[in-house]
Amino acid sequence: MKIKAIFHVDELEKWNLLITNVENLLKGIDIKDSQVEIVANSKAVMRYRKDFESDNTGLEELEKKGISVIACNNALNSLKIEKEMLCPYVKVVPIGVKEIIEKQLDGYAYVKP
């Protein structure tokens, strides 16, 4: 079954739960046949920084499996985070909520831990 899902995180405290949710989903789907995105906005974009205090290996591994890892440019600007400060696998969209809405209109299921 083809799955289209968008995971939304806006709180730093929710990252571990979100990553666990995505990993659990991957156990039950064929990622080659599915489309899954993680969109972070608000303070959650801080997790995408190369120098973030916790290990970002989990996110990098998810991206290597085919998960799109997205940051909201508005959030980056408000937190004064430059794109060069982000991990290289992170894609930036102008408006995170717009990305979420567009994906939902395209049939993506919305998941927020």
Which structural domain, as residue segments, surrounds residue 93?
A: 4-111
Here the CATH number for the domain that contains residue 69 is: 3.40.1260.10
Answer positive or negative: Cα dihedral of 21, 113, 46, 108. positive
Q: How far apart are CA 112 and CA 110, in angstroms?
A: 7
Provide the pLDDT for residue 57: 77
Answer positive or negative: Cα dihedral of 90, 69, 20, 76. positive
pTM as predicted: 0.94
Count up the domains in the chain and report the number: 1
Ranges of the chain whose pLDDT falls below 50: none
Provide the pLDDT for residue 55: 72
- In the chain, the percentage of residues whose pLDDT exceeds 90 is 92
